[in-house]
Amino acid sequence: MASSLALLELLQQLFKRHYRQDKAFDKYQIKFLKKFQNISNDEEEAALLKECSKQLSAIPNALEDKLSEGRFISRHSIRQLRQVASLSNSIKSKLNDMQNSAAYSVIEHQVELNDLIKIYQKAVIELSQRSMQSDCDNKNDVAFINKELQQVILELDIGESHVKDLEKLRIKICNEDDHSQLPYHCLQVIKLIIKSTREERTASRHFLYMLNDNLSEFYSNFSKTLSSTEAGFVQQKETFISIESNAQLLKQQSEEIQDLAQLRAHIKNYVSEVQHVITAQEKKKEQKFRHKFQSMVRQIKKLQNETQSYQKTLKQQNKQLHVDFLTKISNRAAWSERLEIEMLRFKTYQKRLNIAIIDIDNFKRINDNFGHLAGDKVLHVIAQTLQKSIRKNDYIARFGGEEFTLLLPEITEQQSAYVLNKLRERIKNIPFKFKNDQLSITVSIGYTSFCESDDTEIAFERADNALYQAKHKGRDQVVYGEPNIKVFDKVQ
């Protein structure tokens, strides 16, 4: 009896460990335990145990296969996850620990799978966050490229027939919300540039061909004139020989003629004949030379007109290269050239030179709230106001974006401050109106004076730092960047 109770407890523990391995056997073991508790002799016990053994043998033993398959899948998953280079060091460390562990039991294997799932969750979160950050960075990059593309378009030197198309494309880029369209717009800009370049090249080739034809014709006429002149010299020589021959004949006849009156008449006729020959020849030569000369003059004038026309076109193109398309004032390329000239003059003659950087305050808000066309209008109006408000020997240019640069030669720091504050107030008082909203736009200005040890970059950086201080102090201000070395004390 005691052994039967011990066997019953053992079977209960074994059945508990086997629970949920097979649904049919789980139902059977409940019935088995009830029957086992009610057996009365050894024969019934042996028969019941034999029945239970038969039920157990009917259950497929797939646990080991499933565990092996699970281990293979988990190891494969760990290897794949370790190949992701952007994972954090903590996740990589956990994956290395799991790679070296060896789960034996079902519970250990279950724990390993749970840990692997948690690592996957962390990896997904990390990669998702990085993806969001990457998307944000991409958007910032695209916005920067968009802005730079617009600036490039404004500085493009393109044929007059394509200017309107290029401006339409720039406005479309300004208002484009779909960043994926940016490559398409870039392609359109490139196509316009190629088309304009081809037309320009065709026009240049046409001019060169025409120049070559005119020069060839001029050379041909000149050669003909030279040949004609040489032929005239030959004819003139023949005339002189004829005159000399007639002179010899006259001499011979004069010796034979005895009558003085007859001799006089003979000489008179000879002289008249010589004069007639010479006059006719000179007249013919003069008419021929005049005709050739007039033809050459016409050819030269035609060539001169064509050359002047081409020079005018080149000058106009060169001017366009140095003018900002949007604001119609000097662009950055023109600024760089002028700055070098003024810097050389400053070093040579030791005359005062001041540089200022003017930046429109909160310009991004204008674009965001009222659109890029409104921003373009603000840039144009402010640029024209600055251009009209400075002296003739001052120099203003659009440096880029909403930033302008200004050269103020031959005035002191205090005089520059007065001029710049006057410009700041004038811009502040411009009555801008967008979408029925009255708007006051301000600028911040940083400026400095050149000193002997400066180059253009050092002075520009000092003015730029002064501009940063003006922005930091609340905008709508003029701030002076103090040089480390004194500027020239005397304006010469």
pLDDT band at 486 (very low <50, low <70, confident <90, very high): low
Buried b (16+ CB within 10 A) or exposed e, 295-309: bbeebeeebeeeeee
Instruction: State what percent of residues in the chain have pLDDT above 70.
Output: 66
What pLDDT, on the 0 to 100 scale, is given for residue 405?
Answer: 97
Using pLDDT thresholds of 50, 70 and 90, give the confidence band for residue 354. very high
Q: How confident is the model at residue 353 (pLDDT cuts 50, 70, 90)?
A: very high
Residue 225 clears pLDDT 80, i.e. is over it: no
Q: Are 427 and 442 in contact (CB under 8 A)?
A: yes
Cα 38–Cα 40–Cα 45 angle in degrees, nearest 5: 80
Domain ranges of the chain: 2-61, 64-148, 149-216, 219-319, 332-481
**Mean local confidence (pLDDT), 249-277:** 66
Q: What does pTM read for this prediction?
A: 0.49
Give the mean model confidence (pLDDT) for residues 220-241: 68
Enumerate residues 6+ apart whose C-beta is below 8 A from 449.
352, 353, 354, 413, 416, 483, 487
Q: Which residue has the tokens 């789960």?
A: 103
The C-alpha torsion from 9 through 12 and 16 to 18, rounded to 10°, is 120
Instruction: Identify the band that residue 488 occupies on the pLDDT scale cut at 50, 70 and 90.
Output: very low
Band (pLDDT 50/70/90 cuts) for residue 459 is: very high
Over residues 284-295, the pLDDT tens digits come to: 766 766 676 667
Return d(Cα 396, Cα 477) in angstroms, integer: 19
List, for residues 156-201, the tens digit of each pLDDT value. 666 667 777 877 777 777 777 776 777 777 777 777 777 777 777 6
| Beta strand pairing call for 432-434 and 395-400 | unpaired
Q: Taking a C-beta distance cutoff of 8 angstroms, is the pair 313, 452 a contact?
A: no
Write down the pLDDT at residue 19.
Answer: 67
Contact 372, 173 (CB under 8 A): no
- The fold for domain 332-481 equals Alpha-Beta Plaits (3.30.70)
Higher pLDDT among residues 313 and 486, named by residue:
313
CA nearest neighbour of 360 among 405, 402, 407, 406: 402
Q: Could you tell me if 33 and 11 are in contact, meaning their C-beta atoms sit under 8 angstroms apart?
A: yes
Instruction: Give the range among 105-109, 254-258, 397-401 with minimum mean pLDDT.
Output: 254-258
2-11, 347-356, 381-390: lowest mean pLDDT where?
A: 2-11
pLDDT score, position 490? 36
Is it the case that residue 124 has pLDDT exceeding 90? no
Taking only the tens place, the pLDDT of each residue in 25-40 is 778 777 777 777 777 7
How far apart CA 289 and CA 278 sit, in angstroms, is 16
pLDDT at 310 over 70: no
